Structure 1
Amino acid sequence: MWNAIKQNRWWIYQQERFPVFAHGTLIAVFSLAAVAYSAVLGGRYALELSAFAVAFATTFGFFLLLRIADEFKDFEDDCRYRAYRPVPRGLIGLNDLRYLAIIVLALQMLAALLLHAPLAMLLVLVWVYLGLMTVEFFAGSWLRRHPTPYMLSHMLIMPLIQLYASACDWLPQTSTPPAGLSWFLAASYANGLVIEIGRKIRVPEDEEPGVETYSVLWGRKTACLVWLSAMGAAGVFASLAADRVAVGGLTIVLLSLGWIISALLAFHFLTQTRTQSGKAIETCSGLWTLASYLLLGPVALLMV
């Protein structure tokens, strides 16, 4: 049976384009942080499991929808430059992904209505922004010529998703977000930039035709400096958010140490004659983000 599962085309697709277990771990921490942080801000020191379950399931759905949207947006370029990917090589069709997206949207709405009906309005807000991203805000040609506004506009989806995930906790309790949530959302935006930039920094040998990495667009040195700047901003916002839930000191110490390690890694990446790849920077971005959300969510909940 396990061999049959591994040979299934959807299993192969998730392995190559949306690794369920790897992504699921980070999404679980991402969702847990939002719900736990909201609970602590609201003076509630126990996690509502139903709120977390809906936040996790819906957030997982959002990230899957982002992947599906990318498959549609990048289809022509993938056929031209990356025919080895599952969609251009015919493993999964765009119609298959369209039906999957419809199922995900329906399940998200059902989960919102079952937990707390007003959540549906916030859910639609995230859908609308995701839809605008899919059509590249009706300015695709301009955005593709200006990669920085492209990145900054697309990363706004991150705090919107976190707003929804946190609302699974605070909206059933009150009609307004708790004071201090804005710093958490700002940290989510900056962490999104850390992940986005970090996964697109490569050595020349790993660059692919038709793939606009930041190491190509800006040069490796500038890309690393922007990556570290985004990480620094994320650290500042996370520390301000952490100060609202009594883990500010611990967050400052640990994230400062993390930033120093990241700076040393970037220096090594830029100065070594034979560097391995940009994979270490991508991994470091994930670990940084994971640490930030663990501090702001589970750790804060345990320490109050």
Structure 2
Amino acid sequence: MTVSRASRIWTYQSERFPLKKTAPLLAVFSAASICASATLSGRDIPSIDAFITGFIVAMALFFQVRVCDEIKDYDDDLNFRPERPIPRGLVSLQGVVRFGLLTIPPAIIAVWAWHAPVLWLLFLVWLWLTAMTFEFGVPALLKARPVLYLASHMAIMPLIDLLLTGIEWVPGGGASPHLWMFIALSFVNGCVLEIGRKLWAPENEITGVETYSGLWGVRKASLIWMLCLVVSFGLLCGIGAVTRTLWIVGPLGLIAGAVCILRVLHYRSHPTPKAQADMDTIAGLWVFVCYAIAGFVPVVLRAL
């Protein structure tokens, strides 16, 4: 690999899959999923190998999701977002796809080495991801129905979380009957992330590029985002109730949620480019804090 090629790849990751932001978030997400599965079932936390497996799989899958987005959005990017790495010629779509394919064997090996029966959950995620890449064969229908489009694409989040929690519950003897709350939390938090990153300032809207602020208007889109946040907080409290940690999970979530609500209200009244950037950041921070609270607080309190 030449230096110039390495430099292009490094620039691509910084723009489309920033490791300095993505790696910590996925480390928390994967570890919290494994911990939550164990605490909801009343089992001990598994060995460090489970967490290494979860992180490897999460990094591979989320990069694959990015690659599939590049395939799905290729024509739109050429027409409406020429500044992105692939349309401007920084890297090729074929090269990005090859890198995505290279992440498949490490994911399979990691899961196989940990507990081979978990592989069926990995294949289930890949099945949905493949269908999602090709818009389930009905792209026009989905694009005409933005809520259905959002739901069908965000379904990848609970499937990934089913896999990550499965790293614990498949060898552990089965999933907790309360695990659905954590899986649902993943779906709702996916909506928090997706809607949050598409709440734009009016002057930044681009013809041909769909955003929720452009689709629904700033006020309605920000209200829907707040509702997703409230549902997420409710599920977080449900997990706290099951693990008998609501007394601390609730206040911590309330503080984080209040900060997020203040920021979205600011965006709602002053939808500037700065407020747009804040919404992207605050959506990620909420998800980060939410998983940290749900996954680690019960573990820490049980250890005390």
Give TM-score, length-normalised by structure 2: 0.94
> How far has the Cα of 1:47 moved from its partner?
4.3
Question: Any gaps of 5 or more consecutive residues in structure 2?
Answer: none
Whether the 8 Å CA contact 1:206–1:277 is kept in 2: the answer is: no
1:93-113 CA-partner distances (Å, limit 9, x unpaired): 122122222211121111111
Which residue matches 2:188? 190
Secondary structure in structure 1 of the residue aligned to 2:209: coil
**CA drift at 1:272:** 3.5
1:98-146 deviations in Å (ceiling 9; x for gaps): 2222211121111111111101111100100111110111111111111
Do the aligned partners of 1:155 and 1:189 also contact (CA within 8 Å) in 2? yes
Deviation larger for 278-287 or 64-73:
278-287
Give the counterpart letter for 1:156 in structure 2.
A
Do residues 106 (structure 1) and 108 (structure 2) align?
no
Instruction: Tell me by how many angstroms 1:9 deviates.
Output: 1.4
Q: Which has the higher helix share?
A: 2
2:158 is matched with 159
Change (3 A) 1:113 1:91: same
Against the structure 1 CA distance between its residues 75 and 274, is the aligned structure 2 distance closer, same or farther, given a 3 Å change threshold? closer
State how far apart, in whole Å, the 2-side matches of 1:11 and 1:21 are.
Answer: 12
1:50 counterpart residue number: 49
Distance 1:264 1:101 in 2: 38
Quote how far apart the aligned CAs of 1:48 are. Answer: 1.8
Task: Note the C-alpha offset of 1:17.
Answer: 0.6
- Work out the percentage of aligned pairs sharing the same amino acid: 34
Deviations 1:48-99 (Å, cap 9, x if unpaired)? 2111111111011111011000111111111111112111122211221222
How many pairs align? 300
Residue aligning to 1:249: 247
Aligned AA for 1:118?
P
RMSD of aligned Cα (Å):
1.7
1:132 counterpart = 2:131: yes
**Rounded Cα–Cα distance in structure 2 between residues aligned with 1:274 and 1:216:** 14
Q: TM (normalized to structure 1)?
A: 0.94
User: Residue 267 of structure 1 corresponds to which residue in structure 2?
Assistant: 265
Give how far 1:268 is off.
Answer: 1.9
The CA deviation at 1:266 is 2.1
State whether residues 199 and 222 of structure 2, in contact with CA within 8 Å, keep that contact through their aligned partners in structure 1: yes
Q: 1:274 to 1:19 in 2, by over 3 A?
A: closer
